[in-house]
Structure 1
């Protein structure tokens, strides 16, 4: 179903592809929305699909992906598989004409992301990365203040996201075939935050602790722009970091507390003025913000979201490719090499 075909006078009907923790969280959030329903779930494991459907009161459980795409009662598909399956699952949905909200990191590399974006545009079907941060009203207000010059010219963005390890070698976070490592799972958040404010960087530097399996466990990222701005970012699966963000400009700074990727508030510090706290009440929470944006787009007949534009998703994927190239992390799907697949982005610039 292409954007614009969703019936205007009824709830939007979601189909969820995958049954893991992130799928459960999304489903729980969407079920609380008055203008949305979750009508189907799919998994390659029929028993898993039936268990998930029973847990959330979902009408239909599909034991394969194709059945979900053929389900005429599904208006839009939420892809919640591991990164390694995003290309296949989202491609299948787009080929069937189903609008898609695909979890982050969007794909394993920029080449795969470009293939999905091209397919969506060729088929005129809605596609959006599930970057809930970009849909959060607090972040939208923060970005507006930065654009309006509230802190002058941005000089530095700092952000971190680390979770407590260690993880066993067989865990998905340690498996290159599944897109393991800190960069795709966690680094996508600070990189996306920095690029929301500054755009795609002109230079990318990085260093990392690499696991015996060949994935990054603890990674530091330095991004640079020709304007003179820099971003100091980190991600880790070896220890829990503060998960905060700071944006510093020539006349002030903005501090976002723990959970910067889904904040409820931030504090603006202007030179010579008292700190100002900003909040934004929308009546929504968590993943409801991204679901609401998808449904707004579908009802408006839009095939891309202005809040989470596909060109921005591609730019973030190019940066993540460049980071992996710098630290020597390669996935089996990285053919041609990362540096070639990202040739139009920062990966080929030192």
Structure 2
């Protein structure tokens, strides 16, 4: 340190175990889309986990994906994959409307399961998956990768330590532009499109995690020309006086930042707040800020959820404390209420 300079105090270090130390399991993947590509890539580069099989609704697509990702077995149906005796755990990476069906298939076949977020398209589906996993004595988790990142373990420690005092406010935003002519599934009403399940899950889950159960939910939405909801703003209030102001949109790229404010200090998560990145703490009324810094590696951080799953399964745990199923269901209940107030219905409801 140079003479006269002052080191900025650091926040706690993450307690995240070494991903390479996690026991290696054989994974089967249901779905061959964007998130499956990135999950497999990140897990392969940073862990000892193995990908034994992949399935799609068509054999040709599954085979092409398997060749590209050096996966031994490719199946043209989800039923075939969950019957594969070499598969220890199934990662459900299908469209949202198939999460319940695929999770049920895997659990009924005796497979542990990691279901891509959201756990279901509504709280009833999420609760059904959780009940089935419990009844079968199998591990189940929602792959909401943010909660498994080292960055969020720092946030977890700050919250648990009481550094913020009484936490009263959460501000969070998640917006991304989608071209109406692009044909993305987020613009398809038949696939439960709109920003809420894909993007809004992040701010809503942060708010429900930090503040607890929402006593009241107010929301307003704007329709998208593609026939789905295009934008939602929501205010959540808790019985103890906590409030969250949340926003998600398909109409433009927004800052995607988050702030958690308490009586003793404020945490700021620079955007994208749900990715790997920094944590900034500012004491109330002045004082020296404290920081935690990590590389902004984006979706390269997906492997942390895989190794947490592997550790839990080997330890005989049916859930992960980093994202308990009750938290996933609580998030879905709030999103159900947001949709109800905006008049947003999903297929089959």
TM-score of the alignment, normalized to the shorter chain, above 0.5: yes
Does the CA-based 8 Å contact 2:188-2:226 persist in structure 1? yes
| Distance in structure 2 (CA, Å) of the matches to 1:56 and 1:170 | 25
Equivalent residues in 2 for 1:138-217, closer than 5 Å = 138-168=151-181, 171-211=184-224, 214-217=227-230
Aligned twin of 1:21: 34
Compute the RMSD of aligned alpha carbons: 2.0
Aligned twin of 2:287: 273
SS of the residue aligned with 1:287?
helix
Does the CA-based 8 Å contact 2:167-2:263 persist in structure 1? yes
Equivalent residues in 2 for 1:251-266, closer than 5 Å = 251-266=264-279
Q: Which runs of 5+ in 2 are unaligned?
A: 1-20
1:35 positional shift = 2.3
1:108 positional shift = 1.0
Equivalent residues in 2 for 1:26-175, closer than 5 Å = 26-168=39-181, 171-175=184-188
| Distance in structure 2 (CA, Å) of the matches to 1:113 and 1:212 | 29
SS of the residue aligned with 1:38?
strand
Q: Do structure 1's residue 236 and structure 2's residue 249 form an aligned pair? A: yes
Q: How many correspondences in the alignment?
A: 326
SS of the residue aligned with 1:53?
helix
Q: Do structure 1's residue 310 and structure 2's residue 339 form an aligned pair? A: no
1:274 positional shift = 1.6
1:133 positional shift = 1.1
| Distance in structure 2 (CA, Å) of the matches to 1:134 and 1:192 | 9
Aligned twin of 1:245: 258
| Distance in structure 2 (CA, Å) of the matches to 1:212 and 1:136 | 35
Name which of 301, 306, 325 aligns with 2:340.
325
1:141 positional shift = 1.5
Does the CA-based 8 Å contact 2:276-2:294 persist in structure 1? no
Q: 1:326 to 1:10 in 2, by over 3 A?
A: closer
Q: 1:143 to 1:118 in 2, by over 3 A?
A: same
| Distance in structure 2 (CA, Å) of the matches to 1:12 and 1:169 | 37
Does the CA-based 8 Å contact 1:176-1:330 persist in structure 2? no
Does the CA-based 8 Å contact 1:162-1:240 persist in structure 2? yes
Deviations 1:268-324 (A, max 9, x none): 00133121111469x995111100110010110111111110111110110110010
| Distance in structure 1 (CA, Å) of the matches to 2:280 and 2:23 | 39
Does the CA-based 8 Å contact 2:219-2:338 persist in structure 1? yes
Which 10-residue stretch deviates more, 207-216 or 178-187?
A: 207-216
1:72 positional shift = 1.0
Q: Which runs of 5+ in 1 are unaligned?
A: 1-7, 335-350
Q: 1:249 to 1:34 in 2, by over 3 A?
A: closer
| Distance in structure 2 (CA, Å) of the matches to 1:251 and 1:59 | 54
